[in-house]
Chain A
């Protein structure tokens, strides 16, 4: 028997690409929004990592002002403003921190709700600690004693991952948190509008009924439409990633949130194959899920409600593992849909190639794809669902 899947698939893609709203929402917005979003986040983070350009200290203590005149503080990017009420200067924003003296104790006051003040207090306390340490070492040296000799324990830290070339570093941890989340969210939402339009939308516009009267079998219709929704879902995810890459090209520091340990991600071919297959399977899974709910819906409005539920439900496993690193995923998580995909992505970003986990994830995702497709086929044969209006 002749299959009409290809004809339906091509027509749906043509129809989708003529829908300007879908094009803007799915393809153009990620290209503009992601670079912008990371630009703002990155600028703030970069400022945090670079530290303040100059810390302004309001101080009522002459002793503290005298201390800062020591040559040790030369080039420390610190300036002092003399005032009787340093806290008032802190409050009105003319100073980053306020320092007063209480006998021999310098009291440093800062505003925990201001990033500049929080960063300034770290800067000042760091300088003072180093000053103390240096002064102690010099005094002891004059007495012929080594500062290290006074420490009861000597220690150093080293990461096992570093030995294996898997040290995620600050940027790696950030990417491990953000990228899987963004990718899963893009996959879960990328095909939603299209699925709603192709199923609930067709019901609402009454284009489904003539389609059901053609020689095309219902499985042809389902397969053609599923293919189109999957393509859009994958393209949406790719465009989102493209948005991130574009942002990186335009402003690398902003995109890496001020972290400077960006290194190329070298993936072995087998890992790349697994990840590509897993992402595709995930796209088909989400597309199928949206199609199921959209088929059941009577209208676009009802379809959107169900689609939002899928979107929110997909957040749960993503956010549940947001702070986990690649090495934290136990094998049982490979059997939890969505969570297993974030696990794979985090492993890859950490340089871990656990093929047993990748294989299990692919098998589980493929099994869910089959379940969704069988459910879709069943629903397409149920006339009370197909002709619900």
Chain B
């Protein structure tokens, strides 16, 4: 369970996120939509404790973000798209084990977990390849494995499909669906409206740091009198609203 309560972030004069509140339950995928600079990444970075909120707070399974950031980090996994953030000179195994160790797992347990995840994502034969030698799709798989190495209850995805081919995109989608089935709480930030429509149970639309709409796809269409999500998005956060 993830709950945001008037979460706010200002960078000097720039109000990046303004009193954003929503909650996501276990087994649910929450889509966060917005144009560039709308505050999606800043919100996710606050939830991952990389940024400290200027106001408001959030909690993960009842653990407050401001009071116990270490405990929140132990419960949250974060996956960025585009550049996967792997260490090129380490092997896939070493990358995963390193992060498992930094999440508090003993060496042996971390190694077993790396092998278990490699089997789950079907990259066992590449486990001992240096990350720089891996294909983009395999790198993304390793990054996915790394993000859940500590078995987090909340997963945050920040544009995870960027730069991936169709097969790799499908892998990421399947991964999210699988996590959902396991009862994990998922927040997905993506520019791709089709994916958001297909995967997300509820959708929040951010515009200039404010959550301007929230609901299921049907609720959003109905409330705003639009035929599809794209129309809703352009009505609330598109160019005509600037």
Which parts of A166-198 form the interface with B (CB within 8 Å)? none
* Cβ-defined contact, A212 with B50, below 8 A: yes
* Cβ-defined contact, B83 with A206, below 8 A: yes
The verdict on A216 contacting chain B, using a C-beta distance below 8 Å, is yes
- Residues of chain B lying within 8 A (CB to CB) of residue A205: 83, 85, 88
Q: Please judge, given known A-B contacts A206-B80, A387-B50, whether A216 and B87 are in contact too, CB under 8 Å.
A: no
Which parts of A62-79 form the interface with B (CB within 8 Å)? none
- Residues of chain A lying within 8 A (CB to CB) of residue B94: 11, 14
* Cβ-defined contact, A210 with B73, below 8 A: no
In the assembled complex, the Cα of A214 lies from the Cα of B99 at a distance in Å of: 7
The verdict on B74 contacting chain A, using a C-beta distance below 8 Å, is yes
Q: Which residue on B lies nearest to A208, using beta carbons?
A: B85
In the complex, besides A15-B89, A214-B99, A387-B45, 6 extra interface pairs with C-beta distance below 8 angstroms are: A4-B101, A209-B78, A210-B78, A210-B85, A210-B146, A387-B51
A-B contact pairs, 12 of them (CB 8 A): A7-B102, A15-B87, A18-B90, A207-B85, A209-B85, A212-B48, A212-B49, A214-B102, A215-B70, A215-B74, A215-B104, A383-B52
In the assembled complex, the Cα of A4 lies from the Cα of B85 at a distance in Å of: 20
The verdict on B98 contacting chain A, using a C-beta distance below 8 Å, is yes
Q: Which residue on B lies nearest to A19, using beta carbons?
A: B89
In the assembled complex, the Cα of A206 lies from the Cα of B187 at a distance in Å of: 21
- Residues of chain A lying within 8 A (CB to CB) of residue B90: 11, 14-15, 18
Contact of B102 among A208, A216, A387 (CB under 8 A): A216
The verdict on B164 contacting chain A, using a C-beta distance below 8 Å, is no
* Cβ-defined contact, A210 with B99, below 8 A: yes
In the assembled complex, the Cα of A19 lies from the Cα of B84 at a distance in Å of: 20
- Residues of chain A lying within 8 A (CB to CB) of residue B101: 4, 7
Q: Which residue on B lies nearest to A16, using beta carbons?
A: B89
| Interface range on chain A (Cβ under 8 Å from partner) | 20 to 34
In the assembled complex, the Cα of A207 lies from the Cα of B87 at a distance in Å of: 7
The verdict on B103 contacting chain A, using a C-beta distance below 8 Å, is yes
The verdict on A213 contacting chain B, using a C-beta distance below 8 Å, is yes
Q: Please judge, given known A-B contacts A11-B90, A387-B45, A387-B50, whether A2 and B104 are in contact too, CB under 8 Å.
A: yes
Encoded as 1 (CB less than 8 Å from any A CB) or 0, chain B from 33 to 53 comes to 000000000000100111110
The verdict on B76 contacting chain A, using a C-beta distance below 8 Å, is yes
Min C-beta distance of A186 to chain B, whole Å: 24
Min C-beta distance of A379 to chain B, whole Å: 15
- Residues of chain B lying within 8 A (CB to CB) of residue A123: none
Q: Please judge, given known A-B contacts A214-B73, A215-B104, A383-B51, whether A207 and B86 are in contact too, CB under 8 Å.
A: yes
In the assembled complex, the Cα of A150 lies from the Cα of B103 at a distance in Å of: 92
* Cβ-defined contact, B146 with A11, below 8 A: no
Name the residue in A4, A208, A216, A386 with the highest tally of chain B Cβ atoms < 10 Å from its Cβ: A216
- Residues of chain A lying within 8 A (CB to CB) of residue B86: 207
* Cβ-defined contact, B89 with A214, below 8 A: no
Min C-beta distance of B81 to chain A, whole Å: 10
Min C-beta distance of B164 to chain A, whole Å: 16
Min C-beta distance of B219 to chain A, whole Å: 32
Q: Which residue on A lies nearest to B104, using beta carbons?
A: A215
In the assembled complex, the Cα of A10 lies from the Cα of B99 at a distance in Å of: 13
The verdict on A384 contacting chain B, using a C-beta distance below 8 Å, is yes
* Cβ-defined contact, A213 with B104, below 8 A: no
Min C-beta distance of B79 to chain A, whole Å: 9
The verdict on A211 contacting chain B, using a C-beta distance below 8 Å, is yes
The verdict on A217 contacting chain B, using a C-beta distance below 8 Å, is yes
Min C-beta distance of A26 to chain B, whole Å: 15
In the assembled complex, the Cα of A19 lies from the Cα of B87 at a distance in Å of: 12
Min C-beta distance of B159 to chain A, whole Å: 12
* Cβ-defined contact, B89 with A7, below 8 A: no
Q: Which residue on A lies nearest to B78, using beta carbons?
A: A213
Which parts of A1-47 form the interface with B (CB within 8 Å)? 1-2, 4, 7-8, 11, 14-15, 18-19
Min C-beta distance of A219 to chain B, whole Å: 12
- Residues of chain A lying within 8 A (CB to CB) of residue B73: 213-215
Min C-beta distance of B239 to chain A, whole Å: 26
In the assembled complex, the Cα of A19 lies from the Cα of B150 at a distance in Å of: 29
Encoded as 1 (CB less than 8 Å from any A CB) or 0, chain B from 59 to 99 comes to 00000000000100110111010111111111000100011
* Cβ-defined contact, A213 with B49, below 8 A: yes
Min C-beta distance of A302 to chain B, whole Å: 18
In the assembled complex, the Cα of A371 lies from the Cα of B50 at a distance in Å of: 25
Min C-beta distance of B91 to chain A, whole Å: 10
Min C-beta distance of A22 to chain B, whole Å: 10
- Residues of chain A lying within 8 A (CB to CB) of residue B78: 209-210, 213
Min C-beta distance of A254 to chain B, whole Å: 38
- Residues of chain A lying within 8 A (CB to CB) of residue B98: 7, 11
* Cβ-defined contact, A383 with B50, below 8 A: yes
In the assembled complex, the Cα of A238 lies from the Cα of B186 at a distance in Å of: 51
In the assembled complex, the Cα of A209 lies from the Cα of B42 at a distance in Å of: 13
Min C-beta distance of B162 to chain A, whole Å: 12
